[in-house]
Structure 1
């Protein structure tokens, strides 16, 4: 089975299922839509709402795509709804795709549990994405995160064409919030689509970065360190946001990593402001929504976490001398997200420059990519190997190229051969240690072998050594990492 973008099948099948009626925020975009749904859900949850969330692709299990109050749906609830949708599909011969099936299962779960609000991430594009079948009366608001080049085979070869597809989730008489954009042409295209639809266009109001304030934020955290035994994470990002929906400017701490998350938070806060003030939204929100949000929004922002996106973890590498290592995982699957990862690594280097005990940074990338023409490995990976300078650190870089396990329910998703990744690395940068997994045969064990190679050098006896392993390039490789991490947590020995 391959990707078949259409709303015909899902609409036919949905007509034979209990109708969906939950108030829904619908989020499209190339990059950032998962983070936006995560922060939104965290704010709703902190404000006392029961929250359904649908994200794709899943990480470890297909159930990870469907969340109730930030927890994966139970196997029992998932199985009951899945069986009902599959039975209807077979009875009526609709032959929906696996993603259409999963979308309907998620919506049936949310409807059955009567959640207060649902946050839905578009799978691909917007106009013909399965999530866009949701009835107009259920949509509170549509939002669009950053638009960039990705999935050109399905959405078009320019950001303008892609923006048009994504903006087509707009609904008549409902607000449509556009996030901060990299390309100026995107806003003109989106405005045109939104106006033609009869929706209400709203531009995101940017949150501003501010200095750390001990009276608001508490004491400044200790100096950042990558040492696995005494890890100290990067500090939260202090922001301030001004809106007519808030009686005073809103100061908050954002713990999601990366400067780009401030732009995602800006979109989130504009969405929240709109839900509080727009007539079509305010009338559908639960009683006391605005008051509850004003009281709890800072807590919701602070508690937002998003696995697999610039996430730090600790793992014991199974080398001849087992030891804990710090791992940064990120689903940097296209050029723009690789630029974001590269920028964040540069920021980490700058922070380590402020640590007087740091002299050497051992930086190892473990990379795996999905085969997704016309996107090429060079398109995706080139930002990672741009030169970065440091005042005091000696940066020693290595790269391992691997394949990932095929995701459940998506047999058409294939890994780029590691030899192709290695060729891009050799072309992009010289003097880098390289480990290349097999293009054929078993995938199982490739990530573990790469981690063992990455940490074989050891740090014992060397003062001032900081070490970071970065697992990136595809969320499916990130999923393999989380499986490995879960196994280690169950069997720590």
Structure 2
């Protein structure tokens, strides 16, 4: 079964299931939609609401896509709900796709539990995405994060065509909030679609980064360090946001890594303001919603976490000698997200460069990519190896090219051959160490072998030397990393 964008099958099958009625925020976009749904859900939860959240693709297991109060539903709950929908699918011959099935499972679970609010991430595009079958009366508002080139074979070869597809989740008489955009032409396209639909266009208001303030934020955290035994993360980002909805300017700390998350937070805060102030939303939110959100919004922002997106982890590599390393995991899978990852790594280098006790950084990339024409390995990977300025820090870069495990229920998803990744690396940058896994044979063990190769240079701790392993290129590779991490946590080395 492959990707078949259509709403006919899912609408037909949904007509034979209990109707969906939960108040829903629907979020589309090329990059950032997962982070937006994550922060938004965290704010709702901190404000005392019961929250359903649907994100794809899943990481470790398929039920990870369906969260209630930020916890994955149980395998039992998932299995029971899926069995009922599969039975209806067989009875009515609708032959829904695996993503359509997963979407229906998620929404039926949220309906059964009568959650206060649901936050749904579009799978691909918008107009024909399975999540767009949600009835108009359930949609609180629609939102669109950054639009960029990705999935061109399904959505169009320009950002304008892609924006049109994604903006088509707009609903009549409902707000549509447009996030901050990289391309100026996107807003005109989106405005046109929203106006034709009869929705209410709202532009995102920007949150601003500010200086750390001890009186507001507390003491500044310790200096950043990559040392696995005494890891100290980069400090959170202090932000401020002003809106007529808030009685005073909002001062908060954002713990999600990357400057791009401030733009995602800007969209979230504009969504919150719209839910409070727009008549079509305010009347459908739980009693006391405004007061509860205003009281707890800082906690919700601070508590937001999003695995696999610029996430730091500690992992012990057992061979040749057991040694703990710091790993940065990111599902960067297209050019725009690779540029974001590269920018963040450059910021880390700048922070280390300011530490006189650090003289060498060993930087090892472990990369795998999904085969997704017309996108090429060069499209995705070339931003990762752009030159970094450093006044004194010596950076030693290595790259391992591997494959990932095929995700459950998605047999059409294939890895780019490691040899093709390696060819792209050689073309993009010179003077790096390179390790290339087999194009054929077993995928199992490739990640472990790459990790062992990545740290082989430093068998012992050295003064003035720090190292970072970056696992990136596909969320499916990130999933393999989390399986390895879970296995290690269950059976420590």
| TM-score in terms of structure 1 length | 1.00
* 1:42/1:301 contact within 8 Å kept: yes
- CA offsets 1:219-242 (integer angstroms, 9 cap, x no match): 001110000000000000000001
* 1:225/1:355 contact within 8 Å kept: no
Match of 2:39 in 1: 39
Q: Is 1:27 aligned to 2:27, yes or no?
A: yes
Match of 2:316 in 1: 316
Match of 1:299 in 2: 299
Q: Give 3-state SS (helix, strand or coil) of 1:269's partner.
A: helix
Match of 1:413 in 2: 413
- CA offsets 1:316-362 (integer angstroms, 9 cap, x no match): 01221111000000000000000000000000000111222110000
Matches within 5 A, 1:122-133: 122-133=122-133
* 2:205/2:267 contact within 8 Å kept: yes
Q: Give 3-state SS (helix, strand or coil) of 2:342's partner.
A: helix
| Gap regions ≥5 residues in structure 2 | none
Match of 2:239 in 1: 239
Distance of 1:25 and 1:361 partners within structure 2: 43
Q: Is 1:91 aligned to 2:125, yes or no?
A: no
Deviation above 6 Å: which 4+ runs of structure 1? none
Distance of 1:334 and 1:119 partners within structure 2: 24
- Equivalent residues, number: 493
Matches within 5 A, 1:155-304: 155-304=155-304
Distance of 1:429 and 1:80 partners within structure 2: 51
* 1:319/1:455 contact within 8 Å kept: no
* 2:366/2:471 contact within 8 Å kept: yes
Shift in Å, 1:461 = 5.2
Q: Is 1:115 aligned to 2:150, yes or no?
A: no
* 1:89/1:96 contact within 8 Å kept: yes
Q: Give 3-state SS (helix, strand or coil) of 1:281's partner.
A: helix
Distance of 1:27 and 1:395 partners within structure 2: 39
* 2:55/2:120 contact within 8 Å kept: yes
Match of 2:69 in 1: 69
Shift in Å, 1:77 = 1.2
* 1:362/1:466 contact within 8 Å kept: yes
Q: Give 3-state SS (helix, strand or coil) of 1:309's partner.
A: coil
Match of 1:385 in 2: 385
Q: Give 3-state SS (helix, strand or coil) of 2:5's partner.
A: coil
Q: Which moved more, 1:388-397 or 1:47-56?
A: 388-397
Distance of 2:348 and 2:213 partners within structure 1: 22
* 1:54/1:66 contact within 8 Å kept: yes
Q: Give 3-state SS (helix, strand or coil) of 1:345's partner.
A: helix
- CA offsets 1:171-207 (integer angstroms, 9 cap, x no match): 0000000000000000000000000000000000000
Match of 1:356 in 2: 356
Q: Give 3-state SS (helix, strand or coil) of 1:340's partner.
A: helix
Distance of 2:142 and 2:428 partners within structure 1: 40
Match of 2:80 in 1: 80
* 2:321/2:459 contact within 8 Å kept: no
Match of 1:327 in 2: 327
* 1:60/1:483 contact within 8 Å kept: yes
Q: Give 3-state SS (helix, strand or coil) of 2:413's partner.
A: coil
Match of 2:367 in 1: 367
Shift in Å, 1:460 = 2.3
Matches within 5 A, 1:403-482: 403-458=403-458, 460=460, 462-482=462-482
Distance of 1:318 and 1:438 partners within structure 2: 22
Shift in Å, 1:459 = 5.3
Distance of 2:459 and 2:194 partners within structure 1: 56
Distance of 2:490 and 2:2 partners within structure 1: 36
Relative distance call for 1:241 and 1:459 in structure 2 (3 A) is farther
Distance of 1:106 and 1:84 partners within structure 2: 12
* 1:178/1:204 contact within 8 Å kept: yes
| Gap regions ≥5 residues in structure 1 | none
Q: Give 3-state SS (helix, strand or coil) of 1:110's partner.
A: helix
Distance of 1:69 and 1:462 partners within structure 2: 44
* 1:400/1:435 contact within 8 Å kept: yes
Q: Give 3-state SS (helix, strand or coil) of 1:486's partner.
A: helix
Distance of 1:337 and 1:125 partners within structure 2: 17
Match of 2:402 in 1: 402
| TM-score in terms of structure 2 length | 1.00
Q: Give 3-state SS (helix, strand or coil) of 1:256's partner.
A: coil
Q: Give 3-state SS (helix, strand or coil) of 2:253's partner.
A: strand
Distance of 1:245 and 1:86 partners within structure 2: 45
Distance of 2:451 and 2:170 partners within structure 1: 45
* 1:369/1:474 contact within 8 Å kept: yes
Shift in Å, 1:462 = 2.1
- CA offsets 1:16-56 (integer angstroms, 9 cap, x no match): 00000000000000000000000000000000000000000
